[in-house]
Chains A and B, each alone.
Chain A
Amino acid sequence: MQIKTDRDARLGYWLILPTVIAVSGLIFYPIVYNLWLSLQEVNMNPVQPNTFVGLKHFTDVLTDTDFWRSFKTSLIFTSTTVVGTTLLGLGTALLLNRDFPGRSVIRGVILLPYVTPVISAVFGWKYLFDPVFGMANYFLVDILHLLPQHINWIESPAYAIYAVIIFNIWKNFPFAFLMILAELQSISANLYEAAEVDGASIWQQFRYITLPELKFVIGALVILRTIWNFYKFSEVYLLSSSVEVLPVYIYEKAFASYDFGQAAAISAILFVFVLGFIMFYVRKVLEW
């Protein structure tokens, strides 16, 4: 590549300079600073200097069983919520793509979980799943007798992960629904008419027309949701501190153990992992 140096080009550089400064200030600086932190034993007292420890944090993290347990929790959380939100969004979009009275009202109502502030939704769910007074326990135990005793769904480490997954799917499926519905509406009705003339069944129409048309929007939804949920902190931590996904693990390393260096190292490892996943996904699945 040749770098242009004529007058026009120079003016061009001046014009993009503000953007370059903004991008480097807001994106590259934090990344570099984080990498630099990950090589230091960070001293909490700003007056005292940090100690350079090289790759020690990285070896510590990669040999720490707590880290791998969090990693596993994160993988479970991310994969189930990505599949859950996408399928639920797809199903809802297909149903609401048909004509029926009150459709626009229902479409609006479906979006509610997505637009509700996290903290209010969290408190609602906490009461729903309350171990003593909650409706969930009342129905499952006292009315239907499906379980022998009341369970603390939200706080108990054994069950909290389910509560968090269900909550996340409920909260985020409207986004998938919205995207898929928009794409569905752009599919020409001619295609379905032609297929019907050829004698295609409903399933065949879905399999050979709807799905291929939706491929890219679903592909994009999956990758976005993966990135978002792999780094999801608020919805998990606010609902239950018992679910140690990686962002929560990093938070505790940094703000409960005051180990900023190690927290930075974990972030760097995650960065590489997610970047690798995105590259693979974009090439192999989306075939861009």
Chain B
Amino acid sequence: MRKNKILTLILLTVLMLVLTTGVFAKTTVEYWTTQTEENRVEVINSLIKEFETSHPAFEIELVTVQENDIPTKLVAGMAAGRLPEIVEMGSEVIMKMGAEGMVASDEVSTVINKIGKDDFFMGSLTMLSRPGEGYFGVPFHGWVQGIWYRQDLFEEKGLESPTTWENIIKAAEAFYNPDQQRYGIVIGTDKDAYARQTFTQYALSNNARIFDENGNIVFNSPEMVETLAYYSRLAEFTPPGPDGWRDARDLYLAGRVPMMMYSTYIMDDIGLEATGYKGEKGSIIPNLVDKTAFANKMHKTRDAIFGQINGLTFIKGNEETQMAGAKMFAEFLLTGDNYIKFLHMAPGGMNPVRASIASDPQYQNNKVLEVWGEKAGEIAAGLNSIGKFGYVGGKVFPKIGDITSQFIVGQTIMKMTESGWTAEEAAEWGQKEMEDAVE
């Protein structure tokens, strides 16, 4: 008898477990993001919790991916036939996925229209538009790149702000003192995304392009060769290379370089002095915010601003219920308080792509943004006019994704800075590699 009772009890428990999981079965939506920093993941997780409370039928599974690892993860996911429903990534990656036919672009347009197409900055929509019509991604947030420099030191030496090629190299040379481990500038000289990002601005300011309007690769054009030559001369005033973004940030905060190229994400580090980084004699440069200025426009033959738009996009081939959840989650993230909470993860770094949010007092009400004051507004305004290699004369060339994933621009730069090639040789090499890559 006793045995029977126990058995019944066990069976009942099992039955209950099975039934309850059946009732509360949730649709899982996988979400990939390039926000890997711990405090940002915390914010995203709390947003996910809110979403799950208000949409009990769905469960969001968060996967964080390092920016430089995206190509690897995507390929592995594709090969395994197991891709997420919704991803948040840079526009190049989204364009590449779009070109591969992986993006559900109708769903993207639905979300854009539902939020209100007119509320998005035009510049951000262009970055994610699909050749022909429609969009490959919903614009989410963006950053602007430029030269961050020490206004106080520039004034001391009577130097002009680094907005033109001439001024930049003149200042770099003036500050270069390797015996004291003081360097002129940090620009990207490694095989990574940072090198392409910093180089792009020089190239665009000299009207040097990777694609011409017909989509041919023109990396060996005279303008590009001139830019490469200039860039490698400028690299002589950098710390012993190759250098990456970490060098730029650390050395600037430690007062070892008076100039470096970085995105708006540095505003957080400078504004809060929150890196915990100990500069010389145990203290970080005091009041770095007041001493720092930002030159986001560069000029040679024309003005160039470089930046990045991150977008949200949906992957084809997932179940309809999952897709519905992904769409709801995208809208949730881009709306009101949720959106502001998201952007405040990296105040100044992440800029809104919706006009109504940019002017929302609640968005502007943030310590770091207040510290930067009017500068913050000017910086965000740059977002509307950023230029990139993949976009020429209103046309979009998603093939740029194949070139960026192999870091060919960075490798070309390294040929000059590390192996001593001339700009012409490096340009020819890059041209050939790029032609192979887009084949």
**Chain A positions near chain B (C-beta within 8 angstroms):** 44-47, 131-132, 149-152, 155-158, 241-242, 252, 254-258, 260
Contact = CB atoms under 8 A, between A and B. Distances in A.
A200 B190 CA distance: 58
B293 interface: no
Interface stretch (B13-21, B73-81, B129-137, B346-354): B73-81
Given A156-B241, A255-B75, 14 more contacts: A45-B100, A45-B102, A46-B79, A46-B81, A47-B317, A131-B240, A150-B181, A155-B241, A155-B242, A158-B418, A254-B75, A256-B71, A256-B407, A258-B71
15 contacts: A44-B75, A44-B100, A45-B100, A45-B102, A131-B239, A150-B178, A155-B190, A155-B241, A155-B242, A241-B190, A241-B191, A242-B191, A242-B242, A255-B75, A256-B72
Nearest to B433: A257
B406 interface: yes
B251 interface: yes
B419 interface: yes
Given A132-B181, A132-B256, A241-B191, A157 B419 contact: yes
B405 A44 contact: no
Among B79, B240, B406, the most chain A Cβ lie within 10 Å of the Cβ of B240
B241 A46 contact: no
A79 to B, nearest CB: 24
Contacts of B244: 155
Interface string B140-170: 0000000000000000000000000000000
Interface of B: 71-72, 75-76, 78-79, 81, 100-102, 178, 181, 190-191, 239-244, 247, 251, 256, 317, 402, 405-407, 414, 418-419, 437
B81 A258 contact: no
Contacts of B418: 156-158
A151 B71 contact: no
A44 B79 contact: yes
Contact of B405 (A46, A47, A157, A256): A256
A156 B419 CA distance: 10
Contacts of B191: 241-242
A157 B414 CA distance: 9
B242 A152 contact: yes
Contacts of A255: 71-72, 75-76
A44 to B, nearest CB: 5
A156 B240 contact: yes
A132 B419 contact: no
Contacts of A155: 190, 241-242, 244
Contacts of A158: 418
A-B residue pairs, 8 tightest by C-beta = A131-B240, A152-B240, A255-B72, A155-B242, A256-B406, A46-B81, A150-B240, A157-B418
Contacts of A45: 78, 100-102
A155 B240 CA distance: 9
A35 to B, nearest CB: 17
B241 A152 contact: yes
A131 B178 CA distance: 11
Contacts of A152: 239-243
Nearest to B317: A47
A145 B241 CA distance: 20
Contacts of B190: 155, 241
B177 to A, nearest CB: 12
Nearest to B316: A47
A150 B405 CA distance: 31
B78 A257 contact: no
Of A46, A155, A260, chain B has the most CB atoms within 10 Å of the CB of A155
